[in-house]
A = this chain, B = another copy of it.
Amino acid sequence: MLKVAIIGASGYTGGELLRFLKDHEKVEVVAATSRQYSNTPVRKVHPHLQDLDLKFEDKAPGDIDADLVFTATPHGASMNIVPQLVETGVKVVDLSGDYRFDDISIYEKWYGLKHKKPLDAVYGLPEMYREEIKKANLVANPGCYPTGSILAGIPLVKEGLVDTIIADSKSGVSGAGIKPTPATHYPNISDNIVPYAVTTHRHMPEIQEKLQKFGNVRVSFTPHLVPVIRGIITTLHSFPNQEVTSEEIQQMYKNHYQDEPFVRVLDAGEIPRLSSVRGSNFCHIGCFEIDDNGRLVVVSAIDNIAKGASGAAVANMNLMCGFPETMSLESCGLHP
């Protein structure tokens, strides 16, 4: 059994890691750390995990005896923990933004931080870097918005069809984390749709840097908080630079993703739905329509905590450790 630890296990991504890992045949969770909830049973914080016989511990990274560690820590905190773990030969999947960027200057500009310890890391989107992930010791797990936007955009950029992409994303509130704030206060977000960080969200440069691996593209991005618990719908608007039909676009996507275990290109007329991916590691992509002005729409749906965070992290672990990529991630979405 692979010994696995989670640093920062009391948040939503920590809870979701524990949910995926508890039934994983090859894994034993040996530690779940939390300063705030030290010595508290995990089920007091994650009430769905009633049968998990585990307590949070306030453990320093150096005291963790594990083969692989998930660092579910905030950006800025991970860079203080990850290097030490990597040095001692532990495999690491980092869920923060600290190791996602090739260009550190972009990270430092958008996160407003000096990076203390850049390291070689593989960007953990298996649909981009599957082979590299298999050999990596440090994987930087993608952001939730980038996962939905990049998967919706890759085929377009790779084929050189678009110069500019506008991603209008709608995210469930769990994406804002477990900590109550005015933005997540029920009376403020229920029955409401709230654009935020309208042109300044940190996931924009991440989407752009990664899509530019496939071709030249400029990315504009606007997120909205919506009255949904889990899930991100991304509506991608673009203007193809050559004549192309809806059918050709859809076929292009079908071809590109045909062997991917977690991406489903929907039939014509089907709409990606959050309930179809709720709680699952799947990404659904559909709605390849073009209007009279030549604008193309592509829509993707993911669960922000699963495929957008902890599900992807478990897939990365599977790849890094030689397990089947889909192990313990086979569940489909919870609809309705």
Give residues in A with beta carbon < 8 Å to B.
12, 15, 19, 22-23, 44, 46-51, 164, 166, 168, 170, 172-174, 178-182, 184-196, 198-200, 204, 218-222, 224, 226-231, 233, 235, 237, 264, 266, 270-271, 273-280, 282, 284, 287, 289-293, 295, 297, 299, 330-336
Contact = CB atoms under 8 A, between A and B. Distances in A.
24 contacts: A19-B332, A19-B334, A48-B280, A48-B332, A50-B276, A166-B166, A168-B237, A170-B224, A172-B187, A184-B185, A184-B186, A187-B275, A190-B227, A191-B230, A191-B274, A191-B278, A192-B273, A192-B274, A195-B299, A199-B291, A199-B295, A222-B297, A227-B228, A279-B279
A108 to B, nearest CB: 16
Nearest to A287: B198
Contacts of A164: 293
Nearest to A330: B23
Given A50-B264, A190-B191, A15 B335 contact: yes
A227 to B, nearest CB: 5
Given A48-B275, A237-B222, A185 B187 contact: no
Give the oligomeric copy count: 4
